[in-house]
């Protein structure tokens, strides 16, 4: 009798535990099913339809996809929906992988090794990561203001600014760096380098903090230089972190839009894939070409990310320590 009561009480405890666990899992699962699975299925299904001015929904087959490819390849353009969106977004990949990422690793290693001024670097580089991107964009935009920006005034002070006229020979372009179609995107790339270093510094610093100090002490005894230690010891040890961050950076490219929107108010020449889809959908919710663009970007982006992940995994073996 006692064993039956114990068994019944044990089943009851297990049931309560399952209810507790499933109860906490229910909301994220529901959120995933509604806002990821449901919305993606809806986007894909809607990409085969078009809406008339009267609100009627007509099946158009692959026409939306043909229209999307015409936009991406510059055969048809309308405002921010242009071929610059694809080119600009793809240009962010080499910028992130070959400039931002190496600089972040180098600065993290300098802080780890406590080089001269490492405390200053730590504060200076970490500071933008706790400041809103909206504030950073506002500060950068104000600094480059064509009339009263601090950077513009400095160039004029040293004789390089001119007056911004067509006949002027100064290095400030007509309309300013963010207002000239030839310099707006390179200027945004400079902003991306300025703000792109700090974000992942924490991850690399944490990865380096786990490295066995004895390895570096042995390397120093053997006469290995700091550069040799960085290349031959540090990089292989934190390679899993580098791989993860690299994949994250490549994935983020396809949704990158905030600097273009905040620095230029959505300039056509500063358009990105993320800006084109987000703002395009906001301005015209019945434009189902946006849905087709979203599906194309999802398929193309997934292929790029998976291929990149495979290549990163083949470069070097993962080191366990």
- Report the distance separating Cα 210 and Cα 193, nearest Å: 27
> What residue spans define the domains of the chain?
75-315
- Report the distance separating Cα 123 and Cα 129, nearest Å: 10
Decide which of 267 and 12 is more confident: 267
**Separate counts of helices (H) and strands (E) for the chain:** 17, 2
pLDDT, tens digit, for every residue of 222-239? 888 989 999 999 999 999
- Report the distance separating Cα 189 and Cα 210, nearest Å: 33
User: Which residues of the chain form beta strands (DSSP E)?
Assistant: 49-51, 57-59
Q: What is the pTM of this model?
A: 0.81
How many Cα neighbours within 13 Å face the side chain of 147? 0
Region of residue 260 (phi > 0: left; psi between -120 and 50: alpha; otherwise: beta): alpha
Please report the pLDDT score of residue 170 as a whole number: 66
In the DSSP assignment, the letter for residue 319 is P
Please report the pLDDT score of residue 4 as a whole number: 52
Please report the pLDDT score of residue 56 as a whole number: 85
* 22: confidence class by pLDDT, cuts 50, 70, 90: confident
Residues 6+ apart with CB under 8 A from 321: 210, 211, 212, 237
Pairing of strands 49-51, 57-59: antiparallel
pLDDT, tens digit, for every residue of 33-88? 998 899 889 889 999 999 887 778 899 999 999 999 999 998 888 888 889 999 99
Residues 6+ apart with CB under 8 A from 257: 272, 274, 275, 278, 279
For the CA atoms of 133, 135, 136, 138, the dihedral, rounded to the nearest 10 degrees, stands at 120
Q: Which residue has the tokens 């964009």?
A: 137
Decide which of 14 and 66 is more confident: 66
Record the tokens describing residue 137, joined without a space. 């964009």
Residues 6+ apart with CB under 8 A from 281: 287, 290
- What's the chain's length in residues? 321
Other Cβ atoms less than 10 A from the Cβ of 282: the count is: 9
Please report the pLDDT score of residue 319 as a whole number: 67
75-315: CATH superfamily:
MetI-like (1.10.3720.10)
CA 227 to chain centre: 29
Which has the closest alpha carbon to 294: 35, 44, 36, 32? 44
Which has the closest alpha carbon to 102: 245, 213, 211? 245
Distances (CA, A) of 22 to 9, 35, 196, 222: 20, 19, 39, 56
Decide which of 198 and 135 is more confident: 135
- Report the distance separating Cα 157 and Cα 151, nearest Å: 10
> 35: burial class by Cβ within 10 Å (0-12, 13-18, 19+)?
exposed
pLDDT, tens digit, for every residue of 214-226? 889 899 888 889 8
* 173: confidence class by pLDDT, cuts 50, 70, 90: confident
Decide which of 226 and 148 is more confident: 226
Average of pLDDT values for 192-210?
A: 85
């Amino acid at each position: 009798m006692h064993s039956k009561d114990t068994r019944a009480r044990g089943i009851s405890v297990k049931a309560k535990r399952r209810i507790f666990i499933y109860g906490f899992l229910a909301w994220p699962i529901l959120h995933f099913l509604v806002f990821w699975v449901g919305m993606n299925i809806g986007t894909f299904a809607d990409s085969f339809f078009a809406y008339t001015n009267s609100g009627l929904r007509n099946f158009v087959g692959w026409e939306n996809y043909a229209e999307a490819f015409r936009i991406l390849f510059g055969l048809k353009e309308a405002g921010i929906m242009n071929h610059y969106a694809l080119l600009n977004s793809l240009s962010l990949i080499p910028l992130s992988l070959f400039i931002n990422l190496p600089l972040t690793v180098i600065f993290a290693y300098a802080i780890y090794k406590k080089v001269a001024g490492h405390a200053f670097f730590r504060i200076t580089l970490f500071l933008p990561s706790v400041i809103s991107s909206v504030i950073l964009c506002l500060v950068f935009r104000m600094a480059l203001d064509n009339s009263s920006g601090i950077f513009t005034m400095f160039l004029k002070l040293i004789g390089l600014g001119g007056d911004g006229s067509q006949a002027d020979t100064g290095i400030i372009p007509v309309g300013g760096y963010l207002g000239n179609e030839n310099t707006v995107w390179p200027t945004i790339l400079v902003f991306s380098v300025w703000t792109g270093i700090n974000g992942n510094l924490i991850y690399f610093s944490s990865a380096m903090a786990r490295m066995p100090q004895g390895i570096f002490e042995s390397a120093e005894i053997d006469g290995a230089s700091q550069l040799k230690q960085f290349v031959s010891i540090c990089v292989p040890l934190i390679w899993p972190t580098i791989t993860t961050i690299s994949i994250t950076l490549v994935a983020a490219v396809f949704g990158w839009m905030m600097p273009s929107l905040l620095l230029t108010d959505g300039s056509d020449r500063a358009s990105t894939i993320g800006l084109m889809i987000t703002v395009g959908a906001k301005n015209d919710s019945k434009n189902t070409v946006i849905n087709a663009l979203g599906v194309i970007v999802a398929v193309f982006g997934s292929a790029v990310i998976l291929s990149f992940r495979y290549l990163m995994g083949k470069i070097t073996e993962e080191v366990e320590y």
